Chains A and B, each alone.
Chain A
Amino acid sequence: MTALLDADLLVGRDIVTGARLSGDDVAVAVAGLGIGGGLVTSLRALLFDAPSGNDEARAVAAAHGWWAAAGVDLRDPLTALAEVSRAASSDGTVRAVRLALDRQAVPVTAPGVRAVAREATAAGLVLLAEGDVRVVGPALAGLDATVVFLDAHFYHLGDFVLLARDEPGFHASTRLLGDVDGWELVASDVGAERLVFGSRPGWFEAAAVVDRLAASDLTASQRALVVEGNLRRLLGAGATA
């Protein structure tokens, strides 16, 4: 069986729950679920200090054979832009930039949002976007951006599909698409290429996503894209993870 790659690995401390997870903790969380790695972001970068947090993410990624995503804090869009530049010059070590507007209480209309998205896109970096796809999606449209919406919920699936029809770079994470036919609807309407496995292990009951995958009506080739192929394509990653 192909190892699952997860676009939504997170390390650090969540200030809402007070929970802390190190890279080793996340590795324990994925053990037994068939998740072999993925793209990791630091909550320190998203919530406190982006430069040192992103160093943390890179160290965790290196230690576990994962990829790193840069977290940017849009409360400080100048540093956020600098972190995008640092990610772009990382010689492929960092391949994505994570946006977390709700965590940072930043409105989607803040100028820094589109500025960071534009810079990241120009640098060939993937955007990982937390939050309501109906709100964040339109803000990232029209930029030719490649985006994975990490919190795309099946309640909002129709809106994601409408966005994705117009935006070839828009992708949905599997995590909250836990309805009866959401994965299948994405595959049939905009293509299985637009669905990326994400389960936020350690922070979310990732087994629920793994079991939804097992129960899906995707074909074998569609599954291969969702669990591994799409993320590798987005990251331009021939490298193992």
Chain B
Amino acid sequence: MIVDVHGHWGPWFFSTDVADAAANLRVMDRCGIDVQLVSAVEAVVYDPLTGNPALVPVLEATGPRLRGLLVVDPRDLSLAAAQLDELLPTGLFVGAKIHTHYAGSPGGSDAMAAALTLLAAHDLPVLVHTWGEEILGLADVVARVDGVRVVAAHLGGPAWQLTPSAASRTGRLWFEPCWSTPAPGRIRWVLDRIGPERLMFGSDSTLIHPAVTLGAVRASGLSAAEEELVMWRNATEVFRL
């Protein structure tokens, strides 16, 4: 059983042909992924106003193997609130997604705190892109927003060695390791410091092939107990799948 908490649907602006949700499902089948949480690329990199609703018919058509992440731009929480009210009742969305870079809202910013407060009020977990030292700022924000549940994507990228410090600041922050340029031994190093209850698998597919992070996970040599937690159980509990 594999749950992938970091997926995307829709076309990318790179030279890759993955716009159709069939690409998600094909690669999931190839990699043994049962469920993938997806956000609309359009909502992440361009505009949640149009991108989030565009995902609805895709999720309706593909069924429960793809579950939605509603993209929130912390700079436009009135839109986010309206879309939460409109789209959560569909039952198609199980969480939110915030991309700190595209949304111009670093992990430790006041805008992030306000966005997480809104999502906590909806009891909605959120996957947050983290790159660099902002992973620590995000952890501090999570610690002071009551009830919010956050997954830090990418382990901060090149700042992955800050993960234990981030984990120590709050128990409501989980971590997801996908990265197109993975450092050797990174996942085992992190696991040994934060414990398997805090890590969950994500791929960044269809930007990155899931095999890349699956390979990195394989290299970490998970025990059977770790595998259960990392590959699906933590995700099902945090996102209430």
The chain A residues found within 8 Å of chain B, CB to CB, are 29, 153-155, 157-158, 161, 176, 178-182, 185, 201-212, 214-215
Q: Are A215 and B30 in contact (CB under 8 A)?
A: yes
Closest-by-CB residue of B relative to A159 is B15
CA distance A179 to B17 in the complex (A): 10
B162 interfacial by beta-carbon distance below 8 Å = no
CA distance A111 to B206 in the complex (A): 40
- Residue in A29, A181, A205 whose beta carbon sits within 8 Å of that of B182 in the complex: A205
B219 interfacial by beta-carbon distance below 8 Å = yes
List residues of chain A with CB within 8 A of the CB of B213. 208
- Residue in A176, A179, A207 whose beta carbon sits within 8 Å of that of B219 in the complex: A207
Q: Are A209 and B14 in contact (CB under 8 A)?
A: no
Q: Are A212 and B209 in contact (CB under 8 A)?
A: yes
CA distance A181 to B21 in the complex (A): 14
- Residue in B14, B31, B212 whose beta carbon sits within 8 Å of that of A208 in the complex: B212
What range describes how many residues of B lie at the interface?
A: 20 to 34
Known: A153-B180, A158-B15, A179-B14. Is A207-B209 also a contact (CB below 8 A)?
no
List residues of chain B with CB within 8 A of the CB of A208. 182, 211-213, 215-216, 219
Nearest 9 interchain pairs by C-beta: A211-B215, A158-B15, A208-B215, A215-B211, A205-B182, A207-B219, A178-B212, A207-B215, A211-B211
User: Per-position contact with A for B59-85: 1 when CB-CB < 8 Å, else 0?
Assistant: 000000000000000000000000000
List residues of chain B with CB within 8 A of the CB of A181. 16-18
Q: Are A185 and B184 in contact (CB under 8 A)?
A: no
B27 interfacial by beta-carbon distance below 8 Å = yes
Q: Which of B196-213 contact A (CB under 8 A)?
A: 205-213
Q: Least Cβ distance of B73 to chain A in Å?
A: 23
Q: Are B180 and A157 in contact (CB under 8 A)?
A: no
Q: Are B219 and A205 in contact (CB under 8 A)?
A: yes
CA distance A157 to B182 in the complex (A): 19
A-B pairs with beta carbons under 8 Å apart, 12 shown = A155-B14, A158-B15, A179-B14, A179-B180, A180-B18, A204-B182, A205-B185, A205-B186, A211-B215, A212-B215, A215-B27, A215-B210
Q: Least Cβ distance of B159 to chain A in Å?
A: 13
Q: Are B184 and A202 in contact (CB under 8 A)?
A: yes
Q: Is the interface of A mostly helix, strand, loop or mixed?
A: helix
A-B CB contacts (within 8 Å), total count: 92
List residues of chain A with CB within 8 A of the CB of B207. 179-180
List residues of chain A with CB within 8 A of the CB of B16. 154, 157, 179-182, 185
Q: Are A205 and B15 in contact (CB under 8 A)?
A: no
B238 interfacial by beta-carbon distance below 8 Å = no
Q: Which of B162-181 contact A (CB under 8 A)?
A: 180-181
Q: Are A185 and B15 in contact (CB under 8 A)?
A: yes
Indicate the member of B31, B183, B184 with the most A CB atoms within 10 Å: B184
List residues of chain B with CB within 8 A of the CB of A185. 15-17
User: Per-position contact with A for B108-134: 1 when CB-CB < 8 Å, else 0?
Assistant: 000000000000000000000000000
- Residue in B180, B183, B184 whose beta carbon sits within 8 Å of that of A178 in the complex: B180
List residues of chain B with CB within 8 A of the CB of A153. 180-181
List residues of chain A with CB within 8 A of the CB of B183. 204-205
Q: Are B216 and A207 in contact (CB under 8 A)?
A: yes
Q: Are A180 and B184 in contact (CB under 8 A)?
A: no
Q: Are A161 and B15 in contact (CB under 8 A)?
A: yes
List residues of chain A with CB within 8 A of the CB of B206. 179-180
